[in-house]
Amino acid sequence: MEWSVPVNSMLKDEVNKLNYTLIPEGFKGDVREVRLMQECLSKLIDGLGEQSADAQGLNKVITTAEKLRNTATHVLYLLKDANAKDGSGDVIGMLKVGRKHLFLFDEHDQVCEVEPLCVLDFYVKRDRQRHGYGRLLFDHMLADNETSPFEIAIDGPSPKMEQFLARNYGVDRLLHQNNNFAVAPQFFQHTNELRSSLCSTPAVSAAVGRFAAPKPASAIANILQGE
């Protein structure tokens, strides 16, 4: 017989923050209960991850419970409808964020080395979309991280995401980068401090001695591709 823990018993709040521990804030229980809860939560996260990939036409799933457990820097926000499923609750959306080391180009093709908070995955269940749930999740994440839509990078924004940002936050266009990330043009105003300390076009000096030997493929090219 398969056991399942009601969503309302696992997740206490409307928006719940999860990290690699896979233990929601405020959850109480013994070892057996924690394991059972993690098993049920993992199934929910895997299901949402698959639906999100499907909705975005991706051939690989971005969000799984296992990936979350293995990436200490990622945070997953889960949105709950406490009244769904006859009052036992259901998870209706998710938003995954994390910091990434990126080289981004501004509108004047100036490169900038930054480590912004990135939206890595974002999904609201198909029959719940366009009811303001995405906004609710996104607002929570912004407040939690004390940031704004102009200071974050989006990994592979979908057309719906672009419309979502324009409609809800006035981000009327995004600068798409070669590494699949995109940022608002205003992003670079917000990174002024980083710009002065981190941004510069690397000076190229003439190679001498052993440094003049042929080099393997450039590591920066890999970084620019988001590797």
Ligand X SMILES: CC(C)(COP(=O)(O)OP(=O)(O)OC[C@H]1O[C@@H](n2cnc3c(N)ncnc32)[C@H](O)[C@@H]1OP(=O)(O)O)[C@@H](O)C(=O)NCCC(=O)NCCS
Would you count residue 124 as binding ligand X (CB under 6 A)? Answer: yes
Which of 71, 168, 177, 186 forms a contact with ligand X (CB under 6 A)? Answer: 168
> Cβ(10)–Cβ(43) under 8 Å?
no
Least distance from ligand X to the Cβ atom of residue 192, Å: 26
* Residue 204 exposed, middle or buried by CB count within 10 Å (0-12, 13-18, 19+): exposed
Which of 24, 49, 116, 134 forms a contact with ligand X (CB under 6 A)? Answer: 134
Which of 157, 187, 190, 199 forms a contact with ligand X (CB under 6 A)? Answer: 157
Nearer to ligand X, 105 or 133 (CB): 133
Nearer to ligand X, 180 or 200 (CB): 180
Would you count residue 133 as binding ligand X (CB under 6 A)? Answer: yes
Nearer to ligand X, 131 or 173 (CB): 131
Complete DSSP assignment for 87-143: HT-EEEEEEEEEE--EEEE-TT--EEEE--EEEEEEEE-GGGTTSSHHHHHHHHHHH
- Number of residues interacting with ligand X: please give it, by CB under 6 A: 22
Which of 135, 177, 194, 195 forms a contact with ligand X (CB under 6 A)? Answer: 135
> Cβ(19)–Cβ(75) under 8 Å?
yes
Least distance from ligand X to the Cβ atom of residue 152, Å: 11
Q: How far apart, in whole angstroms, are the C-alpha atoms of residue 168 and residue 93?
A: 17
Least distance from ligand X to the Cβ atom of residue 134, Å: 2
Would you count residue 154 as binding ligand X (CB under 6 A)? Answer: yes
Tokens, residue 143? 């407040």
Tokens, residue 133? 């749930």
Q: How far apart, in whole angstroms, are the C-alpha atoms of residue 70 and residue 138?
A: 24
- Positions in the binding site for ligand X (CB under 6 A): 52, 55-56, 122-124, 129-135, 154, 157-158, 160-161, 163-164, 167-168
